[in-house]
Structures are given as C-alpha cells and as structure tokens.
Amino acid sequence: MRYLPKSPAEREQMLAEIGVSSIDELFSVIPEEYRLTRDLDVPRQQAESEIIAYFNEEAAKNIIGYASFLGGGAYRHYRPIIIDSLVQRGEFLTSYTPYQAEITQGTLQAIFEFQTMIAELTGMDVANASMYDGSTGAAEAVLMAMRITGRSKAVVARTVHPEYREVLATYLRHRDMATSEVKYEKNGRIDLAELEASVTEETAAVLVQSPNFFGTIEDIPAIAEIAHKKGALLIVSIAEGVSLGIVRPPVEADIVSIEAQSFGVALSYGGPYVGVLATKEKYLRQIPGRLVGQTTDSNGNRGFVLTLSTREQHIRREKATSNICTNQALVALMATIFLTVYGKEGIRELAYHNMAKAAFAAETFKLQSGVKLLFEGAPRFHEFVIDTAEVPALWSQRLLNEKIVGGIELKKWYPELGNATLWCTTEPIKRRDIEAAAKVLAAGLAEG
C-alpha cells in the first residue's frame, strides 16, 4: 500500500474533525505502559534518488548469467513480453471476483478462454477457472473423487511429486480417508502389478503423474484399465503443462490436475502459480472452484457469466466442494496469453524442442561424463535422472563455480536412489551449457 504523508496543517485539520486536540489525546484510551514514547529504531528517511540507488545496489547482489538445470515442478520457460504488458492493465490487475457480469465481461471472457484451452489440451470436457497450484489441485481432485464414488481410500503412485503427496497428506490428516503408495519399476514407471493388487472396491481414486517426477511418461491407458475395473476414478496430475504439446493427453482419466506455471508464469521464488482441474462433464457438479460459461443476452449478443461457484461463500457450507480453493484469474490470464501467442503449432514446437534437448543432454552426460542414466526403457519428456559416483554436493559446487546450477538431489525423498539427481532442460538452456556441465561431471569422474 502506498504511504501518503500528511503535513502538520493536515494533521491539525484531521484532529479537529475528530474532535480531539492532539495525538496524545487521540490515543489516551491506550494504557500508558503500552504506548511507545520514543522514536522507532528505523533508518532515517531517504530521498527518492537514494531509495532507487539502494535497490539497484541490492539487485546487483543477485546472481545473473547462470544456466539452471533445475526442474521438479517449477520450470523456466521464455515469457513473451506481451504477457506483462497486458496483465498489468488496470482492468485486469485491480479487478476482483467477477460477480457482476455486466461490468466484468473482459475478465469473464479471459477465464472462459482459459478453460477452453485447458479442456482442449487435456482432452477433457470441462475445466475450472483455476486453483491455487498443482499440489492443491491434485489434493482437491482426490477429495472430488471421494465425493463422487462415496469411497474413502486412494492409491497414489510414489512417482507423484513428493511435495504434492505431502500436501495430499495434509488435506487428509483429519479426515477418515486412507492412502497407500505404489512403488515404481526399473524404468521409472508405476509398478502395474502392485497397482492392480492395491486397487480394491474401497478405492475412490488412483493418483498418478505423467510425466512423473522422474520425467518418465506413464502408460495411462493401462493404469486407467486397472482403476476402472474396480470402479475407481483415475486422476492424472501434470506438473509440466508444456508436455501436452507433444505428449498424448490423458483422455482415459476421469480428472486431470495441471500446474500451468509453465504457460508464461514466472518462477517468482515459488509463486503465485496456477493450478487447474479438468474433468468429464458428468462430474461437473463436483468440481471445486468456479466455472465461467458462455451465453447470449436479450439482443442475441455473445456474453459470459459466472456459471458455477461451489465454494462455501456462495452456497451452504455443508454443500461446498472446497472452502479454500480460489480463482487465480490474473495468473490464469498469463497462461491464456501465453497459449494464444504460441498457438497449437507453437506449443508443439516448444514441447519438441524441450524433449529433444533433454535427450541430447542425457546422452551427452552418459557418453562424455560416464554417469549412469537411470530409468531407461520408457519414454520421457524434458527431465531425466542420473546417478554419479560422487555425492552431488561435490560436483554441484564445481558447477556453481562455472555458473551452472545442477540437478535436484533426490535422496531426501528417495533414499534408495543414493546419489541420483533430477535434471531438466528447457529452451533457455543452450548446447554449450550442456557440454560445460558434462565436462565438469567428467572431471569429477577422472579425479575419482
């Protein structure tokens, strides 16, 4: 909030309007022992030029010019400049919930277009107007499946993002709902035999991620067959939306949960991001969040309205599908602009570029560095897992010395993988970055 200073004369006028003679009299109702009678211990006031100089100096301390191979649910993609130019317009930046359709047609249309694009990408019938992020979206999808089926258990793949699984555990902690995890096979995919043994007539949902946390693409048709055989719903979580440009959409799923951060949303130190739920039309009434629909006015003109709002502020609390989901309309608008700029062919080319770059990086690391490539034998998108003889902390520091941020250490979540790390390549990564990283990894192997 902007600070607006007041002159002494203005303060006197305000006190006179209130009917008190001084600031001390204004605060006389506060016991004396709780009043601050000294100046605050804060830096002196600064001129505008000094403030700008200060922030420039602080900004210079940020690292720049580093190549980053980090992924794991937060992806660095190029953001067209037009995104910020449009979302910073006052009509979008300062608008609130579009309850009054007659004065919020722009916001409503943007949400409607977002929903339409997500439905096309996922192969689902409908998509909501967004969730907080991918993790809460996956958890809400499980609760949605439990409402639909009336069952109280869920089966979750261990290849689902570890932090998504943590959020799900938090959601279910004080509910009478149990989950079980299914391990992965040597190729990085879910163990189908164990999955079949785990799904019972009490299972409400099977939750998988594809591409999964290891970057491997799951066999969705086979998983869907196992889930549906026992009457369970299949939920597919997608942490990397760009993958849908080239990976077959999970049309066999009943609910699809997406983190759409890759669609033009900056990393921003972890948020805000934008989650989405898409589903079959028959489950429409159980989807949390908001849905914008298209209609015509009395003159036959195209218009948009808030069609469905299943939050407790709109309907009876006991009928609400969620009491914390929200509409990330401004962030969803970024995704809408991104998808509009790229178009169908552009998204396909972007996805292919990312996938090909990961294949090149994985092969380069394997041949030039002598590292072990894990989870071979199954298709993957733009992430892959390597295993090194050295502990990651050693080569990670050598990479940082070369202005390269290496992969994510997996031991925290998957101790059985030892020195394994998850690497990601998106379009900002250059060939020279890949070759430089391979050289550093190879140097460590030679020293060992």
Q: How confident is the model at residue 273 (pLDDT cuts 50, 70, 90)?
A: very high
- What is the 8-class DSSP label of residue 231? T
Residues present in the chain in total: 448
Question: pLDDT of 111-160, one tens digit each?
Answer: 999 999 999 999 999 999 878 899 999 999 999 999 999 999 999 999 99
> Is 372:428 a contact under the CB 8 Å cutoff?
no
CA distance linking residue 122 with residue 90, whole number of Å? 31
Average pLDDT of the residues of the chain: 91
How many CB atoms are located within 10 Å of the residue 124 CB? Answer: 24
Give the range among 9-18, 98-107, 211-220, 221-230 with minimum mean pLDDT.
Answer: 98-107
- What is the 8-class DSSP label of residue 12? H
- What is the 8-class DSSP label of residue 45? P
Enter the tokens of residue 169: 């555990």
CA dihedral sign, ordered 141, 147, 148, 152: positive
76-99 mean pLDDT: 87
CA distance linking residue 34 with residue 22, whole number of Å? 18
Per DSSP, what are the bridge partners of residue 180?
A: 155
Annotate 295-351 with DSSP letters as a single string: EE-TTS-EEEEEEEE-BTTTS-GGG-SBSS----HHHHHHHHHHHHHHHHHHHHHHH
Contacts of 150 (CB under 8 A, 6+ apart): 204
Residue 311's pLDDT is 57
CA distance linking residue 152 with residue 41, whole number of Å? 55
> Is 425:354 a contact under the CB 8 Å cutoff?
yes
> Is 423:361 a contact under the CB 8 Å cutoff?
yes
Annotate 111-141 with DSSP letters as a single string: HHHHHHHHHHHHT-SEE-S-BS-HHHHHHHH
64: nearest Cα among 399, 406, 403, 397: 403
Q: Which residue has the tokens 């089966």?
A: 155
Report the amino acid identity of residue 278: A
CA distance linking residue 357 with residue 425, whole number of Å? 6
Enter the tokens of residue 338: 């991104």
Buried b (16+ CB within 10 A) or exposed e, 350-374: bbebbbebbeebbebbbebbbbeeb
> Is 427:389 a contact under the CB 8 Å cutoff?
no
Q: How confident is the model at residue 78 (pLDDT cuts 50, 70, 90)?
A: very high
Report the amino acid identity of residue 76: R
Question: pLDDT of 384-443, one tens digit each?
Answer: 999 998 899 999 999 999 999 999 999 999 999 999 999 999 999 999 999 999 999 998
Asked whether the bond before 211 is cis by omega within 30 degrees of 0, the reply is yes
Cα dist. 145→206, 314, 359, 420 in Å?
9, 22, 36, 34
Over 60: is that where the pLDDT of 314 sits?
A: no
Q: Cα-atom radius of gyration of the chain, to the nearest Å? A: 26
